[in-house]
Each structure stands twice: as structure tokens, then as C-alpha cells.
């Protein structure tokens, strides 16, 4: 049998440290530094060179797990000054909008860069994320966050009000995470490829109905509204049960496809209805 190669923590790596009470933190390992936790101190030099997946102990003898952080962990600990798109929505957005390696994706606004990071991670190495943001200080934060994660190379940040439109055309997917997406549907349609994916995340039902009304147009089809509830469990065999608390609401997801107007073709093409709605019930 071949032995599993052991990969070890190196200086400069991001490390996930999980204490006995499941409290966790992410640190960049730097020689000469130390992590101070409420369960004791861990010296970086002791961690550097340890195999990932090791149990390490603090100076008070408390055990910690030394692991590589996932993108999920990194997103939750991102420096932020805005609401962010949370992992439960971000993962689904990728599948729903068919975002993968090589895709060209537009998003607005950049905010703290949480969704930007997920998009960048998905489209690399050959894809591109074009991230628009009207507030320069927000974009600066998003850019720094992406740099820290080593994902900035596939992102083009643009400091602009998207009312002025997008520079790109023919993009695979476009996501609007801002309070009034209905105001920018013309700009979004102009940037998207025929049949391209539009997505948006809105916290209130009032905003959703306003966006739905704006999407009732021959330019858009396959409009869907969804909400994702994530129910965490106590992962203990002897008392396996849901956690006491859960996050009841983050936001509604709205998806649509960009259509070519007046495109019904073929010998038996019917009259094109002024408004094409799939479902009137």
C-alpha cells in the first residue's frame, strides 16, 4: 500500500484553529507570532511544520485542531461593513446560474466582497469576475479581502454607479446585490449573453414584488423566487437533534434568464404575445 503524503502547515498559510468548545479562528502563520485564545496561547513557530489535521495544545494544555480553512470558513470571518451573501445562498447561486471555471460573471455591488470571493473561486483560473461598486471605500475593502484570500487575480473591480451601465457584453451571468435591482434591468440585459442568467438577493418581500413586476417583460423568462433555510443539528450521536436556534431569514433569491425579444421562429410560429408569462395561476 502506498503511504498517504503528509502535507504540513507552512509560514504564510492560513490556518483554522478549533478549540475544545468548537470556537474557532483563522490566523495567518508567521514566525515569531502567537495566537491568544481564551483557552491559552499557541505559538506559530510550534504550528509551522505540523501536519494539517493535527491536534495541537495551547500553553495551558487545551487541545486544538489545526486545519486548513474552507472558503465557507473564510467568508464567515471576512472583514465586513455591509451585509454579505452568506455561504448557504452563495453555493446555490453558483449551481443555479451555472457558474464554473472559465465563466465571465458581472456583479454589483462589491460590498465586502463575500460573493466576489465565491465567484472568483468558482471561475478561476481562466474566468473573470467584473465587480462594480459605487462607494470607493467599500470597493477598497472588497479588493483587500480578495487579495488576502489570494483570489484578486481573476477579479476586475470597477468603481461606478451601475446606472451608467456595464462595460461588458455577452457575459454568462450577472448578479445584483443592491437594494433596487429593478432600476438596472436594462443595463443588466445589455451585458448578458442571450439566455444568460440574472440573479438577485433581496431581504424584503416588498422588494421582491417590485422586482417581479419589472421582470414581467418579453426580455426576461423563467423567473423564479426561492428561499433557503439551513437547519443546523447537534452532531452528537447520543443526543442528535436540531440546534436550539437557527437563522430565520437572510434573503429571497430571484433568478431569471435574459431572452431575445421577438424571437419565436419556425414555420408554424404563433403570434408573439405582448407579455409572455409562464404561469398566471
**Least distance from ligand SAH to the Cβ atom of residue 226, Å:** 17
Q: How many residues bind ligand SAH (CB under 6 A)?
A: 21
For ligand SAH, the closer of residues 65 and 214 by Cβ is 214
Span interacting with ligand SAH, options 56-64, 160-168, 207-215, 242-250, rule CB under 6 A = 160-168
For ligand SAH, the closer of residues 112 and 217 by Cβ is 112
Span interacting with ligand SAH, options 45-53, 107-115, 186-194, 248-256, rule CB under 6 A = 107-115
**Residue 258 neighbours by CB distance under 10 Å:** 23
By CB under 6 A, tell whether 171 contacts ligand SAH: no
**Whose CA is closest to 199, among 268, 103, 107, 114?**
107
DSSP for 13-70 reads: -EEEEE-TTS-EEEEE--TT-EEEETTEEEEHHHHTTSBTTEEEE-TT--EEEEEPPP
Could you give the CA distance from residue 281 to residue 269 in angstroms, rounded to a whole number? 25
**Binding positions for ligand SAH, 59-98, rule CB under 6 A:** 82-85
Q: Using CB under 6 A, which of 16, 42, 129, 178 touches ligand SAH?
A: 178
Task: Evaluate the omega torsion of the peptide bond into residue 125 and state whether it is cis, within 30 degrees of 0.
Answer: yes
For ligand SAH, the closer of residues 47 and 106 by Cβ is 106
Could you give the CA distance from residue 186 to residue 177 in angstroms, rounded to a whole number? 16
Helix (H) / strand (E) element for 221: namely strand 220-226
C-alpha cell at 256: 431569471
Binding to ligand SAH by CB under 6 A, coded x per residue (else -) over 110-149, reads: -xxxxx----------------xxxx--x-----------
For ligand SAH, the closer of residues 19 and 111 by Cβ is 111
Q: Using CB under 6 A, which of 15, 66, 162, 192 touches ligand SAH?
A: 162
**Binding positions for ligand SAH, 5-24, rule CB under 6 A:** none
Vertex 164, ends 136 and 123: CA angle to 5°?
70
C-alpha cell at 179: 437594494
List contacts with ligand SAH (CB under 6 A): 82-85, 108-109, 111-115, 132-135, 138, 161-163, 177-178
Amino acid at each position: 500500500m502506498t503511504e498517504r503524503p503528509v502535507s504540513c502547515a507552512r509560514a504564510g498559510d492560513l490556518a483554522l484553529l478549533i478549540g475544545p468548545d468548537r470556537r474557532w479562528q483563522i490566523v495567518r502563520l508567521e514566525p515569531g507570532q502567537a495566537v491568544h485564545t481564551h483557552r491559552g496561547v499557541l505559538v506559530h513557530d510550534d504550528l509551522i511544520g505540523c501536519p494539517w489535521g493535527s491536534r495541537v495544545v495551547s500553553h495551558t494544555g487545551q487541545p486544538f485542531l489545526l486545519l486548513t480553512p474552507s472558503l465557507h470558513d473564510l467568508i464567515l470571518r471576512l472583514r465586513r461593513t455591509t451585509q454579505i451573501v452568506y455561504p448557504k445562498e452563495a453555493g446555490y447561486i453558483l449551481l443555479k446560474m451555472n457558474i464554473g471555471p472559465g465563466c465571465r460573471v458581472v456583479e454589483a455591488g462589491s460590498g465586502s466582497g463575500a460573493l466576489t470571493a465565491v465567484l472568483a473561486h468558482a471561475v478561476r483560473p481562466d474566468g473573470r469576475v467584473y465587480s462594480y461598486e459605487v462607494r470607493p471605500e467599500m470597493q477598497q475593502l472588497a479588493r483587500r479581502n480578495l487579495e488576502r484570500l489570494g483570489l484578486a487575480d481573476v477579479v476586475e473591480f470597477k468603481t461606478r454607479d451601475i446606472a451608467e451601465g456595464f462595460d461588458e457584453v455577452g457575459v454568462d451571468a450577472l448578479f445584483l446585490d443592491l437594494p433596487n435591482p429593478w432600476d438596472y434591468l436594462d443595463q443588466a440585459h445589455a451585458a448578458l449573453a442571450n439566455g444568460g442568467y440574472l440573479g438577485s438577493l433581496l431581504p424584503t418581500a416588498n422588494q421582491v414584488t417590485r422586482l417581479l413586476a419589472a421582470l414581467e417583460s418579453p426580455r426576461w423568462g423563467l423567473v423564479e423566487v426561492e428561499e433557503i433555510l439551513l437547519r443546523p443539528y447537534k452532531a452528537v450521536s447520543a443526543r442528535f437533534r436540531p440546534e436550539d436556534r437557527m437563522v430565520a431569514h437572510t434573503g429571497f433569491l430571484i433568478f431569471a434568464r435574459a431572452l431575445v425579444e421577438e424571437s419565436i421562429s419556425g414555420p408554424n410560429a404563433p403570434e408573439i404575445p405582448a407579455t409572455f408569462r409562464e404561469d398566471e395561476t
